[in-house]
Amino acid sequence: MHNHGKPNNSKPKDLKGTLIKLIKYSKSFAPLFILAIILAFLSSIIQIIGPDKIKDITNIITQNLMVGIPFAEVRKIAIFLAIIYVLGFIFNYIQGYIMAYITNIISRNYRNDIAIKINKLPLAYFDRSETGDILSRVTNDVDTICHTLSDSVGVLVGSGTLFIGTTIMMFYTNWIMALTAIVSSIIGFIGMILIVSLSQKYFDGMQKGLGDINGHIEEVYSGHNVVKAYNGEEEVLKEFDEINEKLYKDSKKGYFYSGLMGPLMGFIGNFGYVCVCIVGAVLTSKNYIDFGVIVAFMIYIRLFSNPLSQLAQVANQVQMMAAAGERVFEFLEEQELSNEEAITKELIPSKVKGNIKFDHVKFGYNDDKLIIKDFSADIKKGQKIAIVGPTGAGKTTLVNLLMRFYEINQGSISIDGVNIKDITRENIHKLFIMVLQDTWTFDGTINENIKYNKYHVTDEDVVNACKTVGLHHFIKTLPNGYDTKLGDVDSLSAGQKQLLTIARGMIEDAPFLILDEATSNVDTRTESLVQKAMDKLTKGRTSFIIAHRLSTIKNADLILVLDEGNIVEMGNHEELLKLNGFYANLYNSQFQSID
């Protein structure tokens, strides 16, 4: 994994700022959110009305117990209660459906925005970021945001309404009993505030830890063969244990504080019941209140303490959402590649001559360390340019700059006299065929992998390309031939994957060709076949060949010898050998026997 840039330092989470961003992001669903809020409000009002009517039933029964209960009045109130509770159920159902609908769309939109963002970010971002951490933002963090939205909006509105409405109704019914219930619940408020303040940092650490552990797992298991070959299991497990232990501690503490909410609020509710019963009994004995008031307050206590418990749970969920939202927005707000909408100049591949000029190019992945220090070269149409040098000399970096995967610090690169900064990256990429050392295939058929993103290519073109690179015979031995899915081919070797990517490049029609160690994963016999294919592929094209096997670039028109970001020698194979300098030493070292 590359690490050219400085890693992102985690910044303090801004709960308020993140929530504002989330609200702005979801503003297109404002009408549905408002409807869900209204339904949650109405459902809560229904719950507040219920105890008052139950109080009336209790009073009717207790007052008429000796003379006969008036069932007509009781039935009327009971029917009223049944109707409003059914309405409450309907409101809750519709509100839940709306929130599930909204949050699933928001979740989809987040993932779409992240997918679009990925294609707008410079390669430098991926060099300094773990793949697993990026995946965690797409999956875990987005799911956390949307589950919290789905669960919390209705609860927040409903519990808030219940809390306020119940308080008003309690004072309306009896102020002494109301004060008794409220004072007994004040402890809950204090506990909730303390717990929320303590748990935020642990939820932040938990979301970051999930990203770290995903990054570690992705990195280790993508290189599982290397880990096994070098007996690195113990070291890998040790690192995993360290990350896992930190995640465990943050999760344990976060969920511990979160888990305190339920028992704490349960205790407050039970304590409130006891207080109401004692004070109610005293007031009833002195004929200040009816027995029905005590029954009503028993329900009010539940309606008063439950919202506190639910609000506490929502507070924890909102903290988790804030931590996840900050990571998502941090990714969405990363600096993108420069906007190219104003660029109108375009180079048509079929009309490009093929001249490229590097003029005093300077570049470094970090501002304080240059990789390419002062590179100049004038490449003519149709030339086969070989770029050689020791590891770290800047060979691959040079072609990455040519493709505008990175922007140069100083100097200029031009194609047919046009500065590459004056044309779009998409336009530049259409001018190049690029075959890399690292093979890349996706889950599809062999035919689809070779045709990748080229809709004008026929099946016959694919077959001809595979015949040229010597892959056709192997493909025909597969059960479904060119329609075989790569995931079903267990025996596809690294060399065969390399040949497949070379075939992918061969069917592209572009004026420039880049071969970055394209034959590094093939044997010497296959290399000779590929070399012949490469000779055909380079014909009529300006070609750049990066190779460590110097025997493969003997026929290059021009060899650029790089060392520490500078051209130290330039010429063809024979000329450079006669100089008996840096290139000659590199070339001869490959054929010296080691005692």
**Residue 247 · residue 212 · CB < 8 Å:** yes
**Residue 355 · residue 405 · CB < 8 Å:** no
Sheet-wide strand order for 410-415:
372-379, 356-363, 410-415, 418-419
Query: Which range, of 8-17, 207-216, 439-448, 473-482, averages the lowest pLDDT?
Result: 8-17
Tokens 């490959």 belong to residue: 590
The per-residue pLDDT for 419 is 92
The CA distances from residue 78 to 51, 81, 83, 86, 91, in Å, are 12, 5, 9, 12, 20
Q: Residue 385: enclosing H or E segment and its boundaries?
A: strand 384-388
Q: Report residue 156 as tokens.
A: 């927040």
Number of residues written out for the chain? 595
Tokens 């299991």 belong to residue: 233
On the CB side of 442, how many CA atoms lie within 13 Å of its CA? 9
Neighbours of 241 (CB within 10 A): 11
Alpha carbons 525 and 548: distance in angstroms, whole number: 17
Alpha carbons 562 and 393: distance in angstroms, whole number: 6
The per-residue pLDDT for 9 is 41
Give the pairing of strands 418-419 and 566-571: unpaired
Q: Which domains does the chain have, with CATH numbers?
A: 23-332 (1.20.1560.10), 358-431+513-519+543-595 (3.40.50.300)
Amino acid letter, residue 532: K
Handedness of CA 579, 585, 586, 588 (dihedral sign): positive
Q: Residue 355: enclosing H or E segment and its boundaries?
A: none
SS3 241: helix
Alpha carbons 51 and 240: distance in angstroms, whole number: 55
pLDDT, tens only, 514-568: 888 766 666 777 677 667 777 777 777 888 888 777 767 778 888 888 887 778 8
**Residue 84 · residue 49 · CB < 8 Å:** yes
Asked if residue 498 has pLDDT above 90, the reply is no
**Residue 446 · residue 514 · CB < 8 Å:** no
Neighbours of 239 (CB within 10 A): 14
**Residue 436 · residue 501 · CB < 8 Å:** yes
Average pLDDT, the chain: 79
pLDDT, average across residues 185-199: 69
Q: Residue 149: enclosing H or E segment and its boundaries?
A: helix 142-173
Alpha carbons 131 and 2: distance in angstroms, whole number: 11
Alpha carbons 39 and 161: distance in angstroms, whole number: 11
**Residue 312 · residue 190 · CB < 8 Å:** no
Alpha carbons 92 and 158: distance in angstroms, whole number: 10
The per-residue pLDDT for 393 is 73
CA 330 and chain centroid, separation: 10
Neighbours of 108 (CB within 10 A): 12
Asked if residue 127 has pLDDT above 60, the reply is yes
pLDDT, tens only, 390-429: 877 778 888 888 888 888 888 999 999 999 999 998 898 8
Residue 414 burial class via C-beta count within 10 angstroms: exposed 0-12, middle 13-18, buried 19 and up: middle
Alpha carbons 17 and 556: distance in angstroms, whole number: 58
Neighbours of 555 (CB within 10 A): 12
Crossing angle (nearest 10°) for helices 15-25 and 291-332: 80
Q: Residue 458: enclosing H or E segment and its boundaries?
A: none
The per-residue pLDDT for 12 is 42
Residue 438 burial class via C-beta count within 10 angstroms: exposed 0-12, middle 13-18, buried 19 and up: exposed
The per-residue pLDDT for 7 is 39
pLDDT, average across residues 112-141: 83
The per-residue pLDDT for 140 is 83
Asked if residue 31 has pLDDT above 70, the reply is yes
Handedness of CA 420, 425, 429, 435 (dihedral sign): positive
Output the pTM of the full model.
Answer: 0.66
